[in-house]
Structure 1
Amino acid sequence: MVEQTDDTFELYDLRVEIICPPGERILCGAKPGDYFTLEGEMLHLPPGQGFSIYSLGAVLPLLAAKQRETHPNDWMSTDAEVACPDPHCKSRLRIIRTGKRSFSHGAVTVVPLSN
């Protein structure tokens, strides 16, 4: 049996930014350019800035997939904007891959790697 010693993997860091067509009203209290970042499993907001839980709920299911390497033909590789969950709001949430970060399997779980 060969023991696996390298248990590292990479995830993309993400920035999720509010965008809106000029002159349109954002209904969730955000401003164009408001954002949060995701580094591994940690979500970070700039000091003094909030983020609507409804907007977060719209984008949250996609973030784990956007953090991972995807095939160039996969829609997850090309589609980066999510509509605001309010049907009357024209804003969108843009997901941007900003860099890669390495993690150790052993640092994020107690479940052992199987060989």
Structure 2
Amino acid sequence: MSEFELYDLRVETVLDGRTPVCRHIEGESFRVEGETLVFPEGARVSMYALAALLPLLPAKQRPTDPADWMSTDAEVACPDPHCGGRFRVTRVGKRRFTHDATTGLPGERGTPWWQS
């Protein structure tokens, strides 16, 4: 049974004195656990900002070389060029997965990871 690890992530809104144009609230956050986005009660994220973040999150979950920019650069800008909002992506822990719990290949499927 082949296994692999992914980082859980915390994605937090940071302004650091910059003025937001979009609805960005300093400190508001969500988590990424496996393939799941977990939002605390009442948290909101702009769908445009989320669209800018989504392609980077799977790469941020994977182990990378310490010198790789994916390991060192933690902030993603809001896609609105006039907005001061940023999103800090922090690796907060590791989660172990098995291939058969995450694949859809017939004959290799096991119990989905979120049910085990």
User: In 1, are the aligned partners of 2:24 and 2:85 still within 8 Å (CA)?
Assistant: no
Runs of 4+ off more than 4 Å: none
Q: Which runs of 5+ in 2 are unaligned?
A: 109-116
State how 1:3-42 maps to structure 2 within 5 Å. 6-22=1-17, 24-42=18-36
TM-score in terms of structure 1 length: 0.86
**Aligned equivalent of 1:65:** 59
State how 1:62-101 maps to structure 2 within 5 Å. 62-101=56-95
How many pairs align? 106
The one-letter code matched in structure 1 to 2:85 is S
The one-letter code matched in structure 2 to 1:18 is T
Superposed CA RMSD: 1.1
Q: Which runs of 5+ in 1 are unaligned?
A: 1-5
State percent identity of aligned pairs: 55
Structure 1 counterpart SS, 2:30: strand
